[in-house]
Structure formats: structure tokens, C-alpha cells
Amino acid sequence: MTAVKTLVRSWLPPVVAAVVIFGGWEALLAIIRPDGFVLPPPSEIGRAVAQNWDAIVTATGVTGFIIVTGLLAGVVVGAAFALLVTAFRAANETLTPLAVAINAVPIIALAPIFNAWFGILSPRSNQAVVVVLVFFPVFVNTARGLTQVEPSQIELMESYGARKWRIMREVRIPNAMPFFFTALKLATSLAVIAAIVAEYFGGRQDALGNLITNSAGLTRYDDAWAAVLAGSLVGIGLYALAVVVERLVMPWYFTARRSA
Amino acid sequence: MSDTQGSMDAHRLAVEIRGGSKIFNLGRHNEVKALTDIDLDIGQGEFVTLIGPSGCGKSTLLRLIAALIDTTEGTVLVNGKTADAARLDRDYSMVFQRAGLFEWRNVSRNIELPLELMGWKAADRRQRSAEMLELVKLDEFARHHPAELSGGMQQRVAIARAMSFHPKLLLMDEPFGALDEMTREHMQHELLRIWSETRITVVFVTHSIAEAVFLSTKVVVMSPRPGRIAAVVDNDLGERTEATRDDPAYFANITAVREALRGGH
């Protein structure tokens, strides 16, 4: 009984919010009736999804692959950079300025250049945009978590004769976990944006980005919105996955917060 | 809790410092003379407090004994070895003002941490951790997470962690400084009980005169700029009870320490 109650309590607010927002959207458009291409009502977007189901599923698969692989690679590279920079002074003095410099480049603007490097139809060029965009927030946040450790915890480990890598494993990495997951959640939506925008410049024709530009070009805005919806769902799914993994990896963080 | 190793060490001093000095940022514009001309002997089983105003170098002195920082001049011996050899042999354990428990480990696994670093088997660690929790009277909290405990309880876990591998020397840096007065007095009694049960040597940094006199067999009074030992007050009050806090001898020694602190300025 209480389990049902908590389930209802946690699901009810977002469901009500969705009904209100989409219902209001539909109702408002029914009342003021703007020209269809400004903003189609949810019902028309739904119809567009049904009509283009196969194309949308294919496009979501193509773009989803780029998002997920790019996200994973960017996260791995970002976390690895953070570890190196924390462990080695020389790495800090070389990699940190490099990372800052890369981040200062308008990364989306590199998409056409990556197309030239990797081939306009290759997934590599779009993956590269995702990797570069995801990398920096993961790097910066994880590095902060690895270094922002209570000094007495380091002294404690040293007093036990622990070496650098043991301190990394026992203190720095667990301490960095909340920082890392904050960055990971941020990175999921960045990856979706990066992949779709990169597709505006190149890549396979059956991807979400091209579906959006092509549909918009033909003034089929309901189809464009249907593709946007698919991209959003990928982003929401990845975010939810990150939240689940976060809970599994550091349950201690949430027990602590509950009682504190 | 004595073993053969312990009885062999009984003839050596727990801590022996000769001509110890520490200068931070030596030769740079922000050079600070933290400690100068430190000579200090601490016998096995003694409870010594280091007291003095901020900047007198009492925490620095504790870290020299722990070999967490190097001396600029002089020698520091712990159980007859260099301080760094004693550190690597795990002759001592530290307790800090902040309990510094690892949030990602439950209470029992926090206590097991030094044992893990020493390569103990899981079953032995589990058993020792249970013994330690009994020692600090927190048996029911083994599976709790640090954030679920009060400040005083967290500090008791930190003491249990420090005592887990039966070190010969306990170095405490204002361990009760962040606790309220009631909890603090309770913790003082608990610490003395643990000390008398284990006969471990304790070096305890504090800036409370009452705490220093209540706890220790010897009060080392320090003065600042540069940090040095101003006086050593022998403090033989016998076994401590609640009544000790009203004992005239206790007040006499508080006065003696206070005067030594004033004289140092």
C-alpha cells in the first residue's frame, strides 16, 4: 500500500505536468489557430510520428549510435585526462592548457572541417564533434572532484604509509564520483545536441539531423517536430540511464543525503 | 593489548626530539620559522598534551613526529627509529579535528581501512573492527554510514579506526575541538578509559588548558614566534574521575599551565 503510494507520489507530478503542458498547447492552438507551420499541435506531431515511423526509427538508430559512441568516448577521454592531470604535475602543465584551448574553439563550427578529415558520409566526423563537446565538462568536473579532497584524509592515508595510487583509489576517485556524475548528466544532453547539429553539416542522409533539415526545407514542420521529439527521447533516456548508474555506483551518496 | 614487540620497545622512548626546528618556505620571501630548538622526550605509555596559542607550532610538531613533514634541523626518533621509518612500520596512528571518515564506506569498513592497507584478510578485519566498535561502544552502528552519526560518534569511529591495528602511539590533533562542551567531556572520559585499557602512548594537541590538565600526565606548554617549548608541567593527578574536575590539585595545575602560557609571551 505504501509502495503504491510512493510510486504515485513520485510519478503523479510529472504526469500531471505533461498533461497540463501538452493539453494547454493543443487547446491554445485550437483557440488561436495560427498558420500550421508556426507550431503544430501535439496531435499533429503524433500523427507525423505514426506516418514516418520507419524513417524515424531508422534515423533514431543512426543518430543514437553516434550519440552513444561519441558520449562514451568523450567521457572516457575526459575522465582519463582528469586522472592524468591529478596524478602527474607534468600532465597538468601540458594537458590542462590543451584542454582549455580545445574548449575555447567553437566546436560545432569544426563539423565541416571534420567532414573533410573523416569523409562527409562517415560517422567518424559526427562522432568527433560529440567527443570534443562532451570531453571538457567531464574533464573539468572530474579533475575538481579528484583534487578537492579533505586535506586530513590525504594526511591520514600518508600516515598509514599509503602511496599515490592507493590514495587515488581509496580517496580521490570515490570523492570525485558525485562530480563525475553531475558532468555525465550534463554530457547526455550535450551529446544529443552535438550529434544532431553536426548532422546538419554532413553524415548519412537517413539520420535525425537530416530528417529535421529536409522536412523543414519542405515546410513539413510536423515531420521536423517528430524528429525533434525522437532526439529528445534519446536524450531523456540517456539522462535516466545516467541517474540509474549513479544510484548503483554510489548508493552511499544518497543514504547520506537522506539523513543529513 | 601488549605483545612481545611492545615489551621490547618498553625501554625505548616513544618519542625523542633533539634540536628540532622547522622553517617553511626556506629561503623564500614568505619564509616562516614555525619551530625552533625543540627538545622533547615522551616515555612509553605517557599521555602528553601540547598546548599553546595559535601559531605556536603545536600541530606542526605533531606532524614532525608523524613524518608528514620533514624537520629542517635536528632529529626526531619514534620508538628508536627515524620518524619516517616509524611511519612506514605503522608505529603510530593519527586522529584529526575533523573525523575525516570516508562517506563511501560504512562505519565498519572505515575502521577496516588501515587493516586493508596492511593486507589483512577480510575475516580478520571484520573481527578486529567488531572489537574496536565494542571498545568505543558503537557496536550497533557497524553498518551505518558516517553521515548518519553525530559529531561525537564520528570522532569515536575515527579513534576506533586509529586504534584498529594496535599502534604503539596515538597522535591526536585537537580531536575534540569541534565538539560541544558536554560531548567533549564525555569523549575525554572515553579516551582516558581507552588509554588505561590499552596503555598506548598518546600525544594530544589542544588549546584548552582544562582539557590538557584533565587528560595528560605531562603538559608541554608552547609559545609562538618562533614556536618553541616554553615549559613542561608534570601533571600527576592519579586516576581521573568526575571528582578530578573539582580537585584542588587539578586547579593548581591549571594555574601552573596558565602561568607558563603567560610567561611564554
Going from N- to C-terminal start, the domains of chain A cover: 42-255
Distant-in-sequence, close-in-space partners of A119: CB < 8 Å, separation ≥ 6: A125
B66 has a pLDDT exceeding 50: yes
Kindly report the pTM of this predicted structure: 0.86
Distance from CA of A75 to the nearest CA of B (A): 22
- Hey, what's the cell of B72? 629542517
Does domain B1-91+171-192+200-265 fall under CATH 3.30.470.10? My reply is no
CB atoms within 10 A of CB B135: 20
d(CA B255, CA B249): 10
Residue B6: band (very low, low, confident or very high) from pLDDT cuts 50, 70, 90: very low
Question: What residue ranges in B190-241 does DSSP mark as E strands?
Answer: 201-206, 218-223, 228-234
Cβ neighbours of A158 in B, within 8 Å: 68, 87
pLDDT > 70: percent of chain B: 95
Backbone angles phi, psi at A125, to 5 degrees: -65, -40
Distance from CA of A181 to the nearest CA of B (A): 15
Distance from CA of B59 to the nearest CA of A (A): 12
What tens digit of pLDDT does each residue of A70-116 get? 999 999 999 999 999 999 988 888 888 888 888 888 888 888 888 88
Contact call for B98 and A152, based on CB within 8 A: yes
Residues of chain A with pLDDT under 70: 1, 35-37, 256-260
- Chain-centroid distance of CA B143 in Å reads 27
Q: Which of B66, B102, B106 sits opposite A159 (nearest CB)?
A: B66
Chain A interface includes B148 (CB < 8 A):
yes
Is this prediction's ipTM beyond 0.85? yes
CATH for A42-255? 1.10.3720.10
Q: By CB neighbour count within 10 A (0-12 exposed, 13-18 middle, 19+ buried), where does B86 fall?
A: buried
* Residue-range domain boundaries for chain B: 1-91+171-192+200-265, 98-166
How many cross-chain Cβ pairs, A to B, lie less than 8 Å apart? 66
Closest residue on chain A to B85 (Cα): A161
